[in-house]
């Protein structure tokens, strides 16, 4: 074949291939046809053999056209394959198959649950003061929830925190749902020597159930143990904390109280954030709102944790996250947090 004959051949083959491929209705036939042109022993290969017989300067010219021919056939093949696949998809949909190519429904933007938002705000305030975050299990051993915290077995102090004991677990009868986050104090001191500065957020369980109490709620524990830590540090930390949370002029007061694991112990009140201390319905006209329990760590707790107490002191406190969130957001009933009602949740 000379140059011109070869060119005519190439054009004719492009035409023929396009016409043939675009009519094939089955994928197998389509693949076969493609291979008949482009396969290792295909028609295009035969033409390339002819190409080799041309003089070099003509060879380059036809070489380009040969490549265009290959592209044209490959293109016709792809286009027809797409058409067949599209047709198969439409047929499947017509028979009721799910359309996997539809875009997903997407999630609307959200600020997160109000309780979690407040918890994160509280954690951020303590982190900024240098506290690390520690955690412990919700299914807790009596040893950590009570015994090491200076609640002896059968002592009436346990009545204050009656709880849900669980069926003997792997042969153990001392497993309960923790009543507070204070066991994380013990777990932390068993692992680390002073100085210790941690907060421990988490879920706890009690048998309380009313407008402001739920049998399952959240606490944040705080523990700071070091040489020379005093009640002044406790008061300073708490003052800074409530002022970051409720505003720079918010006052606190400490009232003597009792916890087995702190001595002395104090209930901490904040000046009522609704009436500024003048007295209103929320604060029962006292001007103060109770927000947490606190105290200096009892030496018996250090003993239970194997601490050498020489010169070591510390404070601890535990606050209820729901309580703080209700005050901060003006929420009257604790149930609203758990109802999953979008009319409530979407306000935050
Ligand atoms: N664990 C106590 C409670 O849940 C609160 C508390 C924590 C008191 C730490 C003193 C020190 O009631």
182 C-alpha vs ligand 1 centroid, how far in Å?
6
Could you give the CA distance from residue 70 to residue 238 in angstroms, rounded to a whole number?
A: 79
In percent, how much of the chain has pLDDT > 90?
Answer: 67
Question: Is there a contact between 318 and 261 (Cβ–Cβ < 8 Å)?
Answer: no
319 C-alpha vs ligand 1 centroid, how far in Å?
7
Phi and psi at 66, nearest 5°, equal -65, -40
Residue with tokens 């016409």: 19
Ligand 1 atom with least separation from CA of 185? 9
Ligand 1 atom with least separation from CA of 222? 9
**Res 278: pLDDT:** 94
**97 or 75, which is more confident:** 75
3-state secondary structure 196-210: EEEEEEEEEECCCCE
Could you give the CA distance from residue 10 to residue 17 in angstroms, rounded to a whole number?
A: 11
Q: pLDDT tens for residues 39-54?
A: 988 888 888 888 888 8
The strand ranges marked E within 22-96 are: none
**Res 117: pLDDT:** 95
Q: Does residue 300 sit in helix, strand or coil?
A: helix
Structural domains for the chain: 3-94 (no CATH), 114-345 (3.30.930.10)
114 C-alpha vs ligand 1 centroid, how far in Å?
24
Residue 181 corresponds to which tokens in the numbers above? 């986050």
pLDDT interval class at 335 (50, 70, 90): very high
**Res 49: pLDDT:** 86
294 C-alpha vs ligand 1 centroid, how far in Å?
6
Checking if the pLDDT of 164 tops 90, the result is no
Checking if the pLDDT of 187 tops 80, the result is yes
Q: Please give the angle made by the CA atoms of 128, 134 and 138, to the nearest 5 degrees.
A: 135
Ligand 1 atom with least separation from CA of 318? 7
**Res 55: pLDDT:** 87
Pocket of ligand 1 (CB under 6 A): 180, 182, 259, 262, 293-295, 316-318
Give the residue from 250, 285, 290, 284 showing the smallest Cα distance to 266.
290
Q: Radius of gyration (Cα) for the chain, nearest Å?
A: 38
Checking if the pLDDT of 169 tops 80, the result is no
Task: Return the best residue to mutate from 157, 178, 261, 321 for the ligand 1 pocket (most ligand atoms within 8 A of CB).
Answer: 261
Tell me the range of 54-58, 155-159, 249-253 where mean pLDDT is highest.
249-253
What single-letter DSSP state applies at residue 347?
A: T
Q: What is the mean pLDDT of the chain?
A: 92
**Res 334: pLDDT:** 95
Task: Return the best residue to mutate from 183, 316, 323 for the ligand 1 pocket (most ligand atoms within 8 A of CB).
Answer: 316
Task: Return the best residue to mutate from 148, 259, 267, 300 for the ligand 1 pocket (most ligand atoms within 8 A of CB).
Answer: 259
Residue 2 corresponds to which tokens in the numbers above? 């000379």
23 C-alpha vs ligand 1 centroid, how far in Å?
81
Phi and psi at 281, nearest 5°, equal -65, -40
Cis peptide before 195 (omega within 30 of 0): yes
pLDDT interval class at 296 (50, 70, 90): very high
**203 or 171, which is more confident:** 203
Checking if the pLDDT of 103 tops 80, the result is yes
Question: Is there a contact between 225 and 314 (Cβ–Cβ < 8 Å)?
Answer: yes
Question: Residue 203 contacts by C-beta under 8 Å, 6 or more apart in sequence?
Answer: 138, 216, 217, 218
Q: pLDDT tens for residues 125-157?
A: 999 999 999 999 999 999 999 999 999 888 877
For residue 318, how far is the Cα from the chain centroid? 24
């Amino acid at each position: 074949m000379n140059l011109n004959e070869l060119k005519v051949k190439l054009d004719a083959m492009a035409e023929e291939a396009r016409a043939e491929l675009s009519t094939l209705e089955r994928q197998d036939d389509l693949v076969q046809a493609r291979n008949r042109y482009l396969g290792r022993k295909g028609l295009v290969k035969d033409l390339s053999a002819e190409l080799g017989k041309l003089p070099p300067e003509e060879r380059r010219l036809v070489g380009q056209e040969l490549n265009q021919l290959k592209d044209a056939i490959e293109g016709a093949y792809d286009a027809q394959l797409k058409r067949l696949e599209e047709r198969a998809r439409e047929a499947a949909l017509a028979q009721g198959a799910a359309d996997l190519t539809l875009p997903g429904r997407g999630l609307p933007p959200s600020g997160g649950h109000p309780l979690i938002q407040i918890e994160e705000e509280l954690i951020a305030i303590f982190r900024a003061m240098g506290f690390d975050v520690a955690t412990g299990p919700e299914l807790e051993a009596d040893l950590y929830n009570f015994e090491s915290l200076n609640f002896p077995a059968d002592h009436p102090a346990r009545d204050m925190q009656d709880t849900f004991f669980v069926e003997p677990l792997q042969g153990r009868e001392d497993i309960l749902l923790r009543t507070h986050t204070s066991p994380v104090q013990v777990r932390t001191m068993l692992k680390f020597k002073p100085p210790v500065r941690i907060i421990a957020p988490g879920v706890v369980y009690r048998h309380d159930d009313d407008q402001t109490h739920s049998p399952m709620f959240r606490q944040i524990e705080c523990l700071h143990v070091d040489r020379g830590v005093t009640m002044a540090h406790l008061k300073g930390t708490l003052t800074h904390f409530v002022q970051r949370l409720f505003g720079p002029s918010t006052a606190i007061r400490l009232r003597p109280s009792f916890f087995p694991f702190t001595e002395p112990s104090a209930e901490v009140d904040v000046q009522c954030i609704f009436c500024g201390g003048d007295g209103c319905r929320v604060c029962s006209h006292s001007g103060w709102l109770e927000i947490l329990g606190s105290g200096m760590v009892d030496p018996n707790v250090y003993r239970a944790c194997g601490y050498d107490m020489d010169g070591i002191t510390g404070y601890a406190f535990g606050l209820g996250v729901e309580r703080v969130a209700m005050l901060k957001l003006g929420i009257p009933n604790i149930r609203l947090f758990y109802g999953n009602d979008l009319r409530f949740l979407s306000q935050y």
